[in-house]
Structure 1
Amino acid sequence: MTTVSWTENDTQRTARWRSENAAPAPTGIVVITDDIAADKALRIARRGSSLLWRGDFQNARQLMRALDRRLEKRESRTPQASEPGEIFLANRKARAQRAAILGKILIPLEPDYTISLRRAPDTRAACAHAYGPPVDGPNAEHNNSAGEPNAAAGVETLVSLPELLGVISAYEWHRKGVEVAALGARIHPAHGVFTPTRDEYIDLVADAPWPQGLDHPVVWDIGTGTGVLAAVLVKRGAREVVATDISPRAVQCARENVERLGLADRVRVVEADLWPTGGQRADVVVCNPPWIPGRPTSALEQGIYDPGSDMLHRFLGELPDHLTPRGEGWLILSDLAEHLGLRTRDELVARIADAGLTIAGQHETTPRHPRAADSSDPLHAARALERTILWRLAVRTAPTA
């Protein structure tokens, strides 16, 4: 973990720098308190310095909101693009720039993850969930379950305020869980694992018919995340589900969820880059890849953005080698990228055909999330047309002579 230094009250200080989004460590730190004006704070941040907050915690949140309003106001004066794809890219760039400025507000964490600021919440459980437990003993350091070093005793850690608020929010999702109607139960996401709040794709998997003659199939869930689809597949009659994910956090999260649901005897969760090892084949292979071609900027965005559609293309290209003769691949994909001009339907269909696959059926639904009906959203025109589609893919057989 990187160490940063600054001068405070004529004393040289050091602390550890933590960023789950791999943001670079601050190169200049200015200590600020409650009396700073938002315009002055914005000028300091725009010059590249970070703002170490030593005042009231709730006032730090108010400062962040004030900076966000100013940045949003300036964005509104920028000429708007006209094409959906250009609007999307400009909007994403603007959000990234705003996030970079807001991320310069820093909060100090004590070695036990407490915040020694007035009106600060108790963040110990939330930080332990995201970062791993704090370490007892001077200068001790061990790795957490994600392979990252824990905080060492006696050393302050600096984190950005937006990240800390995200850690707190993620812990609340984890603690309370997300109700999944298709399960009749709650799924508990972990920090850094995509939360299944868009339930229309879950319903597609719950309702799609099994391939003919395969009433209790062996199913693989590729990129399982929280394990929600693996649980749904078992509930609806799969004989066995193997769920894979490349993220150790997702694997641990999925294991905890299937154990909590009492399904561990029929769901095996393994860490893998797409496919389970061992040479077996599956009757149904389900994959819900990231829906938008693009580069993620955080662990959470890995569930949304797929650079060059790499995961999608690999899944399609390698799927025939992993299906039983009567098996199907179920690809769950939003067509939002098509409406944004980032991918065409013809390109997707051509990829399916080039992989030696044929389309055995399609099931689609209209998204139900709030942004689909938000006319103030810059991408409203594209979102209003969006459909979530389950593509049923089978291996194309050679014609008989």
Structure 2
Amino acid sequence: MNAPPVVEWTEADRPRSARWRSENGSPPPRRIVIADDRTRADDAYKLACEGTALLWRGDFHNARQLLTAMARRIDRRPRKALPADVTQAFHRHRAAQNHRARILGMLLVPLDASYGVPLHRAPDVREACTRAYGPAQPAPAEAADPAEQSAPAATLVSLRELLALVGANEWRKKGVEIPALGGDRIHPHYGVFSPARGEYVDLVAQAPLPSQELAFDIGTGTGVLASVLARRGVRRVVATDQDPRALACARENTERLGVADQVEVVEADLFPAGRAPLVVCNPPWVPAKPTSPVEHAVYDPGNRMLYGFLDGLADHLTPAGEGWLILSDLAEHLGLRPHAELLDAFADAGLTVLGRLDITPRHPRARDTSDPLHVARAAEVTSLWRLGTTD
């Protein structure tokens, strides 16, 4: 395992250093200045725009207020009108989101060796950090020779990321109610996509099963689709993923839902070994570059997972078996993947369409006319494609 990056700064005329942690892959800041309750929002915003990070040493609640004030300064800046071309508008919108995240990510807070926040009125974030980062590492022993000293025990993180960890931990404890599971809840881990948009789960709950013997759930995430299939009477489900967080999340959820005896969660890049009469996959829906771990469930660069599933499906179906592809057409409305390209991919993989179930989104964005991408979202349809082999 690679050693974490170390950031350095000067404080009270003394050189200081700490580990740097960023779950979205942001590089360590090149310059850090100290900020506290006396720091003005205008000054903080200006420094952040210039690429200077602010290490907070004041009251934790005041740090949250400063973050909110910085966000207001970003949002009230005059915005350029989005291009009429919907694809260009999508990319411009994503760029604006990334710019906003970069600026707000410049407000930093310290964590001690046990994930405590050594600031006045700071909440206890140790559980949230442990669940996201893993167990805290013990403080390294100091070597006699400074050149041989290991990385410092203290860690710096973006306040925005820390608040996201806390929020995700609350969602993990509360869970997401799934009507297709009779109202039982799925508990998403940090970095694992939450099934808050339940319409695609409803499709899997409604489609006619070709068999109840065996099913593969490719890219299981929280394990929600594998659990739905098990509750529908599929006697054995093999659920795959390559993300350690997703694997742990799926195992925890299947245990909690009482279907662990039916669902085997295995690490694999797409398919497990063998063939099944039913192979299900809900790949990321939009072919664009993710900028954080959780976005890997939404954005699929180059349609890698989608086309990997289609290209390998025929080799993992039993005769007369079905592959269920759950996919939104949002990418088509954004001009990122033509409908004909998807149909060509089916044909190139030796697949034929046996049927299709459609459902319209129920999430608030589909009705939010202030959303820059409202026209595309309002036209979106999520489909379950029932695919068979042409042989």
Same fold per superposition (TM over 0.5): yes
Q: Please give the alpha-carbon distance, in whole angstroms, between the structure 1 residues aligned to 2:108 and 2:358.
A: 44
Asked if 1:25 corresponds to 2:21, the answer is no
Q: Secondary structure at the match of 1:301?
A: helix
Alignment of 1:78-227 (within 5 A): 78-136=80-138, 138-139=140-141, 155-184=153-182, 185-211=184-210, 214=211, 216-227=212-223
Q: 1:371 to 1:139 in 2, by over 3 A?
A: farther
Q: Secondary structure at the match of 1:259?
A: helix
Q: Please give the alpha-carbon distance, in whole angstroms, between the structure 2 residues aligned to 1:312 and 1:154.
A: 42
Give the corresponding residue for 2:349: 355
Q: Please give the alpha-carbon distance, in whole angstroms, between the structure 2 residues aligned to 1:248 and 1:365.
A: 31
> For residues 20-61 of structure 1, what are the alpha-carbon distances to aligned partners after superposition, in whole Å with 9 as ceiling and x for unaligned?
111101111010111111111111112211110111111111
Alignment of 1:4-15 (within 5 A): 4-15=7-18
Deviation, 1:153, is 10
Give the corresponding residue for 1:77: 79
Deviation, 1:168, is 0.4
Flag structure 1 segments of 5+ consecutive residues without an equivalent. 141-151
The one-letter code of the counterpart of 2:266 is V
Q: Please give the alpha-carbon distance, in whole angstroms, between the structure 2 residues aligned to 1:386 and 1:136.
A: 49
Residue 381 of structure 1, aligned match among 375, 378, 387: 375
Give the corresponding residue for 1:147: none
Give the corresponding residue for 1:364: 358
Deviation, 1:248, is 1.0
Q: Percent identity?
A: 58
Q: Secondary structure at the match of 2:180?
A: coil
Q: 1:385 to 1:45 in 2, by over 3 A?
A: same
Q: Please give the alpha-carbon distance, in whole angstroms, between the structure 2 residues aligned to 1:306 and 1:77.
A: 28
- Higher mean displacement: 287-296 or 175-184: 175-184
TM-score (norm 1): 0.92
Are the counterparts in 2 of residues 242 and 276 from structure 1 also a CA contact under 8 Å?
yes
Residue 42 of structure 1, aligned match among 26, 45, 48: 45
Deviation, 1:334, is 0.4
Are the counterparts in 2 of residues 139 and 153 from structure 1 also a CA contact under 8 Å?
no
Q: Secondary structure at the match of 2:192?
A: coil
> For residues 299-352 of structure 1, what are the alpha-carbon distances to aligned partners after superposition, in whole Å with 9 as ceiling and x for unaligned?
100000000001101111110000000100000000001111111111101110
Q: Please give the alpha-carbon distance, in whole angstroms, between the structure 2 residues aligned to 1:259 and 1:45.
A: 45
Q: Please give the alpha-carbon distance, in whole angstroms, between the structure 2 residues aligned to 1:199 and 1:318.
A: 27
Root mean square deviation of aligned Cα: 1.4
Deviation, 1:154, is 6.9
Q: Please give the alpha-carbon distance, in whole angstroms, between the structure 2 residues aligned to 1:53 and 1:297.
A: 25
Q: Please give the alpha-carbon distance, in whole angstroms, between the structure 2 residues aligned to 1:296 and 1:177.
A: 24
Q: Please give the alpha-carbon distance, in whole angstroms, between the structure 2 residues aligned to 1:124 and 1:41.
A: 27
Deviation, 1:200, is 0.2
Q: Please give the alpha-carbon distance, in whole angstroms, between the structure 2 residues aligned to 1:356 and 1:348.
A: 13
Flag structure 2 segments of 5+ consecutive residues without an equivalent. 143-149
Are the counterparts in 1 of residues 361 and 380 from structure 2 also a CA contact under 8 Å?
yes
Deviation, 1:245, is 0.3
Q: Please give the alpha-carbon distance, in whole angstroms, between the structure 2 residues aligned to 1:319 and 1:124.
A: 43
* Runs of 4+ displaced beyond 2 Å: 135-140
Give the corresponding residue for 2:270: 274
TM-score (norm 2): 0.95
Give the corresponding residue for 1:261: 257
Q: Secondary structure at the match of 1:305?
A: coil
Deviation, 1:199, is 0.2
Q: Secondary structure at the match of 1:182?
A: helix
Q: Secondary structure at the match of 1:293?
A: coil
Q: Secondary structure at the match of 2:120?
A: coil
> For residues 201-241 of structure 1, what are the alpha-carbon distances to aligned partners after superposition, in whole Å with 9 as ceiling and x for unaligned?
00000000012xx3x13100000000000000000111210
Q: Please give the alpha-carbon distance, in whole angstroms, between the structure 2 residues aligned to 1:139 and 1:172.
A: 34
Deviation, 1:136, is 3.7
- Higher mean displacement: 77-86 or 155-164: 77-86
Deviation, 1:12, is 1.1
The one-letter code of the counterpart of 1:377 is D
The one-letter code of the counterpart of 2:176 is V
Residue 287 of structure 2, aligned match among 280, 283, 293: 293
Are the counterparts in 1 of residues 17 and 152 from structure 2 also a CA contact under 8 Å?
no
The one-letter code of the counterpart of 1:156 is A
Are the counterparts in 2 of residues 135 and 153 from structure 1 also a CA contact under 8 Å?
no
The one-letter code of the counterpart of 1:223 is G
How many residues align? The count is: 380
